[in-house]
């Protein structure tokens, strides 16, 4: 009975949503405003003036870079939120005495063997984001997944060495901080926060700034993922 | 790549927006999971019906 | 002609940088974190003040990020409604100061630096939300704000707090989804994300009405959840009552208001475009506002827990503001907008004062707190000032706004709602009388707390500052009213108001 009610409710809710989507300008039509308005400008000028061949990267880091600045802050917020909810007094002192689950030798060997390749792939994805699909978020996730793999297969202590205590809080904040750093550099160079120099002579600087942001996002994202996993797993 | 010779690109804006949507969803999920961990530790259950009875 | 420094427009970035560096700077030392947060908020407040002065002198202005003109890039748009960043900074600064001693006992030690991080992120979200001119940027800041709010509700680590936080998270996530979906619809219809640009593009009439109506519905309902308007208020009483007191002050005084600012922004888009007839939406808002006023006040009467009572009173006050917007007459919109500001002052006074009582005595129900007026006279006096203000008795901050909203009701030819408003004020009067009576005129149940004395100075000072502001704003109340007036007229101009 309850389930039937839920299904009826869902159908009732779906009708206006479907109607709204059906009323949108036709997908794929050349007169669709999503193609003719703002994104047409991006596609026409992106590669020349924004610093990256990959138009998506141009859009998220240059034209609408401030959104992405907020987005990396959302990632950092989730870290602060997880710490705020999970940290306990004395939890650091209470070293994990719990025995780790034994892992088969084959798995350990494969993990050790693949780890450097995964890391190289992550770095490739981060550094290549301005040319091909990829970028800081994607590469950072791969890097974070590597940390989790190491932590599960080779043990927490092994994994912890990858994220030393000293620079850890700075690494976790790397995303927002590099963004603000590059943004302020843009303020100095062009007079606007997150402004990228538009003169052709400074094209290299434009690209360099984008790559620096990508690295910041990648490192920061990986550090946040790793720390969130570490904190959840310590429980 | 010249301005004239463009392959038919897809619209970049929705891709960026979806990326943001994913990031937001991941962040919210991380917090939700942390809360579930804490509730499980404190109440010993995460069944909504049992939690309702405890209140 | 004064030249205004460009960096001021980056006001949202100050708390952002402050927040992400707090853990690294403090390294677990809670005192350093507190001072750092206080310093960051001082700089932010200065920038906010300058920006408000600039709006007052020159009217609205924009700041394009990266130098890209508005539909191409993102812009910050400072107008009279963005001046709400002033109250965010004021209440935020005082709440940070207040937190220093409060969280010492209330929170687990390693969580304290992250508490300040979350507070600063919360302010970042609110400031960015109030000043952005881009619809998607609005969503991003809303998420920073919401995530930090969920965590701040649950941060005390009590079971009830975590349950309340989880409930808040689920409701908030649903509302975020609605807002995101609606932004998607507006983007798909217009190809733009800039609010002013969307408004002019949907005004062309090239877009079918169904997606626009659906987007309007999604945005309104989504922001209504954030604003805790009846019947979407169910998350609020638990979350606001159980959170640490400075967090309650921020959530009740400021965070719910961002939902209202969101509704105002939606109105700016749709009123300007003149594509849909919004009178039915307005009628709905007025009715929901009226029901919120009465329901909130009604439930507040039956609360024993002082913070629970204040939480229900927030629902009722949100009702006033929404009713003011819904009546869509100049008087009521001005009154509603200024009540955003005044209610923030009043509710922060009340929650912080209640926090002092709870902090010192350890009790939180009206019964247990009987006679506390003798033990903590200053705190109780501040609480009484807040109570008088929120009822809307003339010399205080609450009066002018409610008066304007009532005037607006008569102006709009709906005197019934003016009556509902007065009826609600009567209810509110009853429960605050009950509170004041219990604090001053009843024999203490727990005589031992007569010796506890006032809270430490860093907690008492914010309470007293806010309480005196409640009185001062009653006298100077015309200043914000005349400040917001041009914005209200601009908003209503397309309606011929």
pLDDT in tens, C465-474: 988 888 888 7
C-alpha A231/C-alpha A148 separation (Å) is 12
**Angle in degrees, 0-180, between the axes of helices C330-361 and C306-327, rounded to the nearest 10:** 170
Residue C449 pLDDT > 90, yes or no? no
Domain for residue B3, yes or no?
no
Provide mean pLDDT across the span A147-165: 83
Residue B40's domain spans which residues?
A: 13-54
Domain for residue A39, yes or no?
no
Query: What's the domain count of chain A?
Result: 1
Query: Mean of the per-residue pLDDT values for chain C?
Result: 86
How high is the ipTM of this complex?
0.89
Residue C308's domain spans which residues?
A: 280-497
pLDDT computed for residue C173 by the predictor: 92
Using the Cβ of B20 and the Cβ atoms of chain C, whether some distance falls under 8 Å is answered with yes
Domain for residue A14, yes or no?
no
Domain for residue B34, yes or no?
yes
Residue A210 pLDDT > 80, yes or no? yes
C82: Cβ contacts below 8 Å, ≥ 6 apart: C51, C55, C130, C131
pLDDT computed for residue B15 by the predictor: 87
Predicted TM-score (pTM) of this structure: 0.91
Domain for residue C319, yes or no?
yes
Our CA angle for A126, A130, A133, nearest 5°, is: 75
Residue A51 pLDDT > 80, yes or no? no
C105: Cβ contacts below 8 Å, ≥ 6 apart: C359
Disruptive mutation site among B21, B34, B46 for chain A (greatest number of A CBs within 10 Å) = B34
| Residue C368: closest CA among C382, C378, C352, C354 | C354
Whether a cis peptide bond, with omega within 30° of 0, leads into C194 is: no
Query: What's the domain count of chain C?
Result: 1
Domain for residue C473, yes or no?
yes
Residue A154's domain spans which residues?
A: 55-87+102-234
Instruction: Kindly list the residues from chain C whose CB atom is less than 8 angstroms away from the CB atom of residue A206.
Output: none
User: Which ranges of A58-104 would DSSP assign to H, the alpha helix?
Assistant: 65-86
Residue C496 pLDDT > 60, yes or no? no
Residue of B nearest to A44 (CA): B3
pLDDT computed for residue C45 by the predictor: 92
Domain for residue A48, yes or no?
no
Cβ separation of C114 and A191 shorter than 8 Å? Answer: no
C-alpha C167/C-alpha C238 separation (Å) is 9
Domain for residue A46, yes or no?
no
C-alpha A13/C-alpha C460 separation (Å) is 50
For C151, the closest of B20, B31, B39 (CB atoms) is B31
Residue A76 pLDDT > 90, yes or no? yes
pLDDT computed for residue B31 by the predictor: 92
Domain for residue B45, yes or no?
yes
C-alpha C137/C-alpha C315 separation (Å) is 27
Provide mean pLDDT across the span C255-261: 91
Cβ separation of B16 and A67 shorter than 8 Å? Answer: yes
Disruptive mutation site among C73, C142, C143, C177 for chain B (greatest number of B CBs within 10 Å) = C143
Domain for residue B4, yes or no?
no
Instruction: Kindly list the residues from chain C whose CB atom is less than 8 angstroms away from the CB atom of residue B24.
Output: 140, 143, 176
Q: Which pLDDT tens digit goes with each residue over C313-372?
A: 899 889 989 988 888 888 888 888 888 888 998 999 999 999 888 888 888 887 887 877
Q: What percent of chain C has pLDDT over 70?
A: 98
Cβ separation of A77 and C118 shorter than 8 Å? Answer: yes
Between the ranges C84-88, C108-112, C390-394, C429-433, where is the mean pLDDT highest?
Answer: C84-88
A18: Cβ contacts below 8 Å, ≥ 6 apart: none
Residue A206 pLDDT > 70, yes or no? yes
pLDDT computed for residue C51 by the predictor: 87
For B33, the closest of A44, A60, A232 (CB atoms) is A232
pLDDT computed for residue C145 by the predictor: 93
Between the ranges A152-156, C27-31, C69-73, C322-326, where is the mean pLDDT highest?
Answer: C322-326
Cβ separation of C150 and B36 shorter than 8 Å? Answer: no
Our CA angle for C352, C172, C333, nearest 5°, is: 70
Mapped onto helix, strand or coil, the DSSP state of residue A192 is coil
Q: Which residues of C touch B (CB under 8 A)?
A: 136, 139-140, 143, 147, 150-151, 154, 157, 159, 162-163, 165-166, 169, 173, 176, 180, 184, 187, 193
- Where residue C487 falls among pLDDT bands split at 50, 70, 90? confident
C257: Cβ contacts below 8 Å, ≥ 6 apart: C84, C227, C321, C340, C343, C344
Domain for residue C449, yes or no?
yes
pLDDT computed for residue C481 by the predictor: 80
Residue C497 pLDDT > 50, yes or no? no
Q: Which pLDDT tens digit goes with each residue over C355-374?
A: 888 888 888 887 887 877 77
């Amino acid at each position: 009975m309850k389930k039937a009610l839920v299904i009826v409710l869902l159908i009732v809710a779906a009708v206006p949503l479907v109607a709204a989507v059906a009323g949108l300008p036709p997908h794929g039509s050349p007169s669709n405003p999503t193609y003719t308005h703002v994104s047409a400008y991006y596609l026409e000028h992106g590669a020349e003036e924004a610093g990256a061949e990959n138009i998506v990267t141009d859009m998220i880091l240059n034209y609408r870079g401030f959104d992405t600045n907020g987005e990396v802050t959302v990632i950092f917020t989730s870290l602060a939120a997880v710490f705020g909810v999970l940290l306990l007094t004395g939890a650091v002192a209470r070293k994990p005495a719990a025995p780790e689950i034994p892992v088969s030798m084959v798995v350990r060997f494969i993990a050790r063997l693949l780890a450097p390749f995964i890391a190289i792939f992550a770095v490739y994805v981060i550094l290549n984001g301005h040319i091909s699909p990829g970028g800081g978020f994607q590469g950072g996730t791969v890097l974070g997944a590597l940390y989790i793999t190491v932590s599960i297969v080779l043990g927490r202590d092994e994994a912890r060495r990858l994220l030393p205590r000293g620079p850890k809080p700075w690494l976790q904040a790397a995303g927002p901080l590099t963004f603000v750093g590059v943004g302020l550099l843009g303020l100095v160079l062009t007079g606007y926060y997150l402004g990228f120099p538009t003169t052709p002579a400074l094209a290299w600087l434009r690209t360099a700034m984008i790559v620096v942001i990508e690295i910041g996002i990648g490192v920061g994202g990986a550090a946040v993922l790793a720390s969130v996993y570490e904190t959840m797993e310590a429980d | 790549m010249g301005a004239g010779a463009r392959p038919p690109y897809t619209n970049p804006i929705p891709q960026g927006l979806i990326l943001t949507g994913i990031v937001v969803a991941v962040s919210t999920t991380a917090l939700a999971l942390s809360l579930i961990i804490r509730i499980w530790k404190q109440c010993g259950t995460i069944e909504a019906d049992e939690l309702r009875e405890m209140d | 002609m004064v030249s205004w420094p460009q960096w001021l427009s980056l006001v949202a970035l100050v708390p952002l940088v402050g927040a992400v560096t707090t853990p690294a700077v403090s390294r677990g030392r809670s005192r350093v974190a507190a001072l750092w947060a206080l310093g960051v908020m001082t700089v932010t407040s200065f920038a906010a003040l300058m920006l408000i002065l600039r709006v007052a002198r020159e009217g609205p202005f924009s700041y394009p990020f990266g130098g890209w003109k508005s539909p191409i890039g993102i812009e910050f748009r400072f107008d009279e409604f963005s001046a709400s960043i002033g109250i965010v900074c004021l209440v935020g600064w005082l709440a940070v100061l207040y937190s220093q001693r409060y969280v010492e006992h209330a929170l687990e030690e390693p969580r304290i630096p992250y508490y300040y991080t979350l507070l600063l992120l919360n302010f970042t979200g609110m400031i960015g939300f109030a000043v952005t001119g881009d619809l998607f940027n609005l969503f991003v800041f809303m998420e920073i704000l919401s995530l930090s709010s969920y965590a701040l509700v649950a941060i005390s680590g009590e079971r009830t707090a975590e349950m309340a936080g989880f409930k808040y998270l689920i409701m908030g996530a649903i509302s975020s989804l609605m807002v995101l979906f609606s932004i998607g619809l507006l983007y798909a219809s217009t190809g733009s994300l800039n609010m002013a640009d969307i408004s002019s593009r949907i005004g062309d009439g090239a877009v079918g009405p169904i997606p626009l109506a659906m987007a309007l519905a999604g945005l309104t309902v989504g922001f209504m959840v954030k604003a805790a308007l009846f019947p979407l208020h169910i998350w609020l009483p638990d979350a606001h009552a159980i959170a640490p007191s400075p967090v309650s002050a921020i959530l009740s005084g400021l965070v719910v208001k961002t939902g209202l600012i969101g509704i105002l922004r939606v109105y700016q888009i749709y009123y300007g475009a003149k594509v849909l007839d919004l009178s039915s939406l307005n009628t709905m808002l007025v009715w929901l506002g009226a029901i919120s006023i009465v329901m909130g006040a009604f439930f507040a009467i039956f609360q024993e827990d002082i913070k629970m009572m204040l939480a229900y009173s927030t629902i009722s006050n949100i009702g006033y503001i929404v009713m003011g917007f819904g009546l869509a007459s100049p008087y009521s919109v001005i009154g509603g907008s200024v009540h955003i500001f005044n209610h923030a002052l009043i509710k922060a006074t009340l929650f912080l004062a209640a926090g002092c009582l709870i902090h010192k005595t350890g009790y939180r129900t009206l019964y247990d707190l009987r006679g506390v007026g003798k033990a903590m006279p200053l705190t109780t006096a501040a609480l009484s000032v807040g109570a008088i203000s929120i009822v809307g008795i003339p010399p205080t901050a609450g009066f002018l706004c409610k008066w304007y909203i009532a005037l607006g009701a008569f102006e709009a030819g709906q005197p019934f709602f003016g009556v509902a408003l007065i009826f609600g004020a009567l209810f509110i009067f009853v429960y605050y009388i009950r509170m004041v009576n219990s604090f001053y005129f009843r024999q203490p149940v727990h005589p031992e707390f007569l010796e506890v004395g006032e809270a430490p100075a860093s907690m008492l000072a914010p309470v007293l500052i806010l309480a005196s502001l409640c009185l001062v704003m009653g006298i100077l109340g015309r200043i914000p009213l005349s400040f917001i007036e041009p914005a209200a007229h601009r908003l209503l101009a397309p309606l011929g108001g």
